[in-house]
Amino acid sequence: MTVGETLEYGGYVFPRDRRYHEKHAWIKVVEGKRARVGITDYAQKKLKSIVFVEPAEVGSRVEAGELLATVESIKAVGEVYAPVSGRVVAYNEKLDDDPGLINRDPYGEGWIVEVEVDDPSAVEKLLTAEEYVERVVKREEG
């Protein structure tokens, strides 16, 4: 990404082309009402080496704030919450063989699920990269 497309803070990177949930998930609309969801660089670094991912079942409905996936690392188990309401339409099957993709490329190949969003305007109401850093990361980092 070129300068200006990402926000960097404290050794973490936050692309500006997506929105963020306060519980460390990101979402990016990829086409129409379809959006990819993953965890932030901040979250994957806190978890350390990710060894297993258990997503919500493809075809299931999720409401904003509900559990969307569980991410297990050598250090802890993290929960990924749905940033918006919708239906899970795809899971990144590459994570079955290589869950470490989340650590190496959390905003690219390490996405977790795709959701058909009920209300695309709900995505725009989530945090920008700047808001996520100010309201979440800086608070947690103390």
Q: Which tens digit of pLDDT belongs to each residue from 15-66?
A: 999 999 999 999 999 999 999 999 999 999 999 999 999 999 999 999 999 9
Residue 57, burial from CB neighbour count under 10 angstroms (0-12, 13-18, 19+): exposed
Residue 105 CA to residue 40 CA, distance in Å, equals 10
If one counts the domains in the chain, the total is: 1
CB atoms within 10 A of CB 142: 4
Domain coverage including residue 119: 6-141
Whether residue 124 is contained in a domain is answered as yes
CATH number for the domain spanning 99: value is: 2.40.50.100
Phi, psi of 23 (to 5 degrees): -95, 25
CB atoms within 10 A of CB 81: 18
State pTM to two decimals.
Answer: 0.95
Closest by CA to 25, choosing from 60, 71, 76, is: 71
Cβ(38)–Cβ(44) under 8 Å?
no
Cβ(114)–Cβ(68) under 8 Å?
no
pLDDT at 75: 86
Q: How many residues does the chain have?
A: 142
Whether residue 128 is contained in a domain is answered as yes
Q: What is the pLDDT of residues 57-105, one digit of tens each?
A: 999 999 999 999 999 999 899 999 999 999 999 999 999 999 999 999 9
Strand-strand pairing, 67-73 and 12-15: unpaired
Whether residue 94 is contained in a domain is answered as yes
Whether residue 81 is contained in a domain is answered as yes
Whether residue 106 is contained in a domain is answered as yes
Whether residue 1 is contained in a domain is answered as no
